[in-house]
Amino acid sequence: MDREHESGDLRELFQIYHGECGFGGCSRPDFLDELAKLIPDEIVEFLKNLVSVVDQAIEEQVVMRFSDEGIVTADMSR
């Protein structure tokens, strides 16, 4: 996966090994479990229940509210 750096350059964040013959397929739950292991703990939190999503288009943000009263704002400008 490549991600654009602040300077505009792309930098590689991680690679996924596809095996000797390339990727042959898997079940969706197995794929998602393995993919989740590649995401750093400080970036995502699993097992939360999303209650609402509010699109604040003017500020280019999305506000997500969770059942545990947590609130997260995501910048959608990029």
Asked if residue 65 lies in contact with residue 52, where contact means CB atoms within 8 angstroms, the answer is yes
Give mean pLDDT, residues 42-50. 87
Contacts of 53 (CB under 8 A, 6+ apart): 62, 63, 64, 65
pTM strictly above 0.75: no
Asked if residue 66 lies in contact with residue 72, where contact means CB atoms within 8 angstroms, the answer is yes
Q: Number of structural domains, the chain?
A: 1
Report residue 54's pLDDT band, with 50, 70 and 90 as the boundaries. very high
Average the pLDDT over each of 16-20, 41-45, 60-64, 72-76 and give the range with the smallest value.
Answer: 16-20
Look up the domain containing 9 and give its range.
2-75
Centroid of chain to Cα 8:
20
